[in-house]
Amino acid sequence: MIHMKNSFPANSAAYRKSFGFKFIFLLAFTLLMNTSLLVKGQDPEFSQSYANPLYLNPAFTGTNAIPRIAMSYRNQWPRQGNTFSTYSLAFDKFINSTTGGIGFRTMYDVQLNGVINSLSSSFIYAEHFNISDGVFFTMALESGFIYKKFNTSGLIFPGMIDQGTGAPTGSYPFPTESGQKLIPDFSFGTVGQFDDYYFGIAIHHLTQPDQSIFLGDQTGKLPRKITVHAGAKSHEFHRGLLSREYTLSPNLIYIQQGGFRQLNLGIYMNEAWLTYGIWYRNNLTYRPNSMSAMIGYQSGKMQFGYSFDFSFASSAAYGNGAHEISLIFFLGSYHRRLYDNTMVIPQM
C-alpha cells in the first residue's frame, strides 16, 4: 500500500468490511457473465496497474497526498527482442487553490520489433467532490493525441515471393495515405472512495478515432476501452512470533475493448516497506490465461516495483513471459488541503 497520509478514520464497522468484500466478488461474477463483441484492437496493458494510475483511470489525477511522477517500462516476449515494449511517464498533483487536480501522461509503444510505433500524450483535469469524512469521488476528462508510425519495409508478403526460386523480390504496393497517422483522442473517468473501499470506471477513446493508414479502410477505428476496477484495504493483521503487522488488499479490474474482454483478480500484502502481489488474468475472449507475480519496495519519497507474467499458453516458451518495472517519485511536502481526499490504492 502507498503509505500516504489518509485523513479517513479507520474505524469501519465489521458489517461494512463484509459488505465491501462481498461487493467486489459480486462485481467480478457479474462481469464474468457479460457478453462479447468482435475483436478490433487492444491498448497496451500494464500488470502493475496502480503503479500507473493515470493510465488505468484519468480520475486518479490529484488523488495522492503530494505530487508524484510515475514511470513504467514493460517488455513482453523478451526472448524475441523488443517484440512488445512500452514506456510510460506521468505526472499529477492536486491544486490546493481549487477543488481538482491536473496531470500529464505520455506513452511510447513499440510493437513487432518496430513495425508499429505509437506515441500518445495527453493532459488531464479531475474535479474532486467531497461528500463527507471518508467519502468522496472525482470526475476527469483527458484530452490528447496519438501518433502512429508504420514501418513495413522489412515485411515480406506472398506477392513478393518468386514462385520459381522462393526468394523475395520487389516490393508490395500498399494503398496507403502515408506511413504515419496523427489522431486526437479523448477519455473520461470517475473514481470514488468509501472508507477503505475504492472503485471506478474509465472510458478511453470516446470518439473512436480512425487509426488506419489504408485508403478507404472503414474498419480502422480504435475501439472504446471500458475499464471497471474496485478494491479494498483491510485493517492491520498480525502474524508470527514477532507479531509483525501487515494489510491485505483484494482487487479486480475488468477491461473490454472491442471484442477483447479480460477480468483480472488480484491481492496485495503490505508489510512495512515491502509489498507483495499476485494477479490472475482471466481472458474471457481468447484463452489462455496468465498470472503476474510482483514485489514492491517503498522508502521515503520513492517506490519501486517489479513484476513478471507467467502465461499458460503452449507457446509461452517462445516469448518467455513479460517483465515490468515501475518507479514513482513523490515530490514536495505534506500540506493541508482544501479537501482531505487522498486515495488508499495499492502500491503496484
**Does the pLDDT of residue 296 top 80, yes or no?**
yes
Model pLDDT for residues 173-206, shown as the tens digit of each residue: 665 656 788 999 999 999 999 988 999 999 999 9
Q: Is the pLDDT of residue 339 over 80?
A: no
Average pLDDT of the chain, as a whole number: 80
Is residue 92 within 8 Å of 138, Cβ to Cβ? no
Give 11-47 pLDDT, tens digit per residue.
444 444 454 444 444 444 444 444 333 335 589 999 9
C-alpha cell at 307: 513484476
Q: What is the pTM of this model?
A: 0.81
Domains recognised in the chain with CATH numbers: 14-151+181-330 (2.40.160.40)
For residue range 301-330, what is the model confidence (pLDDT) as tens digits? Answer: 899 999 999 887 665 555 568 899 999 999
- What residues form DSSP beta bridges with 188? 141, 203
Supply the pLDDT for residue 218: 63
pLDDT, tens digit, 9 for 90 and up, residues 133-153 = 778 899 999 999 999 988 766
pLDDT value of residue 35: 33
Q: How far is CA 291 from CA 77, 236, 263, 264, 280, in A?
A: 15, 26, 12, 9, 5
